[in-house]
Amino acid sequence: MSAQFDMSDVRRLERHLARSIPRMRRDARAVTMRGAMNVKNEWRSNARASSGRHAPAYPSSVGFDLASYGPDIVMATIGPDKGAAQGALGNLLEYGSSKNPPHRDGGRALDAETPRFEAQMALLAERGLAWW
């Protein structure tokens, strides 16, 4: 006695995933880029409001870098450039000191962006896995 299986759906899923993976990689990079840009812009806005006249150049020092580690890992590093004017104040302004409270400009920006970023990544996964 032998069993027979209709593998056409499995092959169709395989083809779909093979086409979806490059698109998902590209789209995930774009979502990461947009999220990093949103955090950077909100961090700068928060910093303008909290640093005031004491660190007027600090908000402009906030930027980001996007790095890929293989085809499936994209990472954004967001924060002040210590080489830029007043960028070295980043740790002091973000985390505070014994004499100054923390501003959490970057932390608040990241908190605001996280749900949007996660929703976009979930949408990419749903789109990539939907095949019927």
d(Cα 93, Cα 101) in Å, to the nearest integer?
Answer: 8
Which tokens hold the place of 98?
A: 């014994």
pLDDT recorded at residue 51:
84
Q: Residue 33 CB: number of other CB atoms within 10 A?
A: 14
Closest C-alpha among 52, 61, 50, 63 to residue 95: 50
pLDDT digits (tens, 9 = 90+) for 27-80: 999 999 999 999 999 999 999 999 878 899 999 999 999 999 998 899 999 999
In this prediction, residue 120 has a pLDDT band, given cuts at 50, 70 and 90, of very high
At residue 104, the pLDDT reads 96
Higher pLDDT, 117 or 127: 117
The pTM for the full model equals: 0.86
Can you read off the two tokens belonging to residue 117?
Answer: 């970023």
pLDDT at 5 over 60: yes
Per-residue pLDDT at 132 exceeds 70: no
